[in-house]
């Protein structure tokens, strides 16, 4: 079928913007494939999941159903780290719960002499991260490891720790429709969405260098609770960073 026919079918299923994005990525498309994509749009699947591609901090990442799609809110986390790394010197970084690898890849592309480790408890998510690490030629800078927040161990300590952990409480009805296509382990956490922060606060202290910092993405309205958790485990609160919507999005701590 021709591109105009495909455009009309996809537009009717998911709107003009979705149709344009899909057809820009898929220059040639069959009738059956068009009908299949239209079905996915009608049931609410995000376009990024359909085309396996999402831009983040100027880089195009591969994504699939085993990872969260990179989100603009998370760019606040990346920017928070970059502005603290003006001095050009070797640094090491740990990305806890790396998913697509978008955070650590973006940082290694924008901070000179940065290298480190990305961990995730999902082996399928690590496959995605490794695909992106290879895509951006970062194999010599980033290593991956199958591990979780509570039990990860390292023989060396890191200058920087970053994490966008699961922070939605089970049963939260505010989760948007598109999230039903995301892996549940990357979205939901016990203890009203705070369980992952409790594990990180307890374990990450022994992973960070004395003058290092940890940067955490947080959910709406969670800042006070997370600050209390980290201070309970002996961390020192440094600052809050807001996203473009003016929402508290990133917390920074030192030890």
178 pLDDT band, cuts 50/70/90, is low
Range(s) of the domain holding residue 39: 3-43
What is the arithmetic mean of pLDDT over 243-252?
Answer: 95
Predicted local confidence at residue 174, as pLDDT: 66
Q: How many domains does the chain have?
A: 2
Domain containing residue 114: CATH number = 3.40.50.150
175 pLDDT band, cuts 50/70/90, is low
Q: Within a domain: residue 49?
A: no
Predicted local confidence at residue 176, as pLDDT: 64
Give residue-wise pLDDT tens across range 5-31. 898 998 898 999 999 999 988 778 888
Q: Within a domain: residue 8?
A: yes
For residue 116, give the nearest of 146, 85, 138, 86 by alpha carbon: 138
Give residue-wise pLDDT tens across range 47-97. 999 999 999 999 999 999 999 999 999 999 999 999 999 888 999 999 999
Q: 52: which DSSP letter?
A: T
Q: Within a domain: residue 48?
A: no
Q: Within a domain: residue 221?
A: yes
- The overall average pLDDT reported for the chain is 93
Q: Which residues contact 119 (CB under 8 A, 6 or more apart)?
A: 94, 95, 96, 97, 98, 144, 145, 146, 147, 148, 152
Q: Within a domain: residue 98?
A: yes
């Amino acid at each position: 079928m021709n591109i105009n026919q495909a455009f009309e079918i996809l537009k009717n299923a998911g709107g003009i913007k979705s149709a344009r994005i899909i057809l820009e990525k898929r220059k040639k498309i069959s009738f059956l494939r068009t009908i299949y994509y239209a079905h996915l749009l009608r049931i609410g699947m995000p376009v990024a999941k359909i085309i396996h591609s999402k831009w983040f901090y100027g880089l195009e990442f591969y994504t699939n159903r085993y990872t969260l799609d990179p989100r603009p809110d998370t760019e606040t986390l990346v920017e928070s780290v970059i502005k603290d790394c003006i001095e050009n010197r070797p640094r090491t970084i740990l990305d806890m719960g790396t998913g697509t690898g978008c955070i650590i890849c973006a940082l290694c592309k924008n901070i000179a002499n940065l290298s480190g480790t990305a961990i995730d408890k999902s082996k399928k998510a690590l496959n995605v991260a490794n695909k992106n690490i290879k895509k951006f030629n970062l194999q010599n800078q980033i290593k991956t490891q199958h591990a979780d927040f509570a039990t990860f161990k390292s023989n060396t300590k890191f200058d920087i720790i970053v994490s966008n952990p699961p922070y939605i409480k089970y049963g939260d009805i505010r989760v948007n429709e598109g999230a039903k296509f995301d892996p549940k382990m990357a979205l939901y956490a016990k203890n009203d969405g705070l369980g992952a922060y409790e594990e990180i606060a307890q374990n990450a202290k022994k992973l960070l260098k004395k003058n290092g910092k940890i940067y955490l993405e947080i959910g709406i309205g969670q800042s006070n609770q997370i600050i209390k958790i980290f201070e309970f485990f002996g961390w020192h609160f440094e600052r809050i960073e807001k996203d473009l919507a003016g929402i508290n999005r990133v917390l920074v701590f030192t030890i």
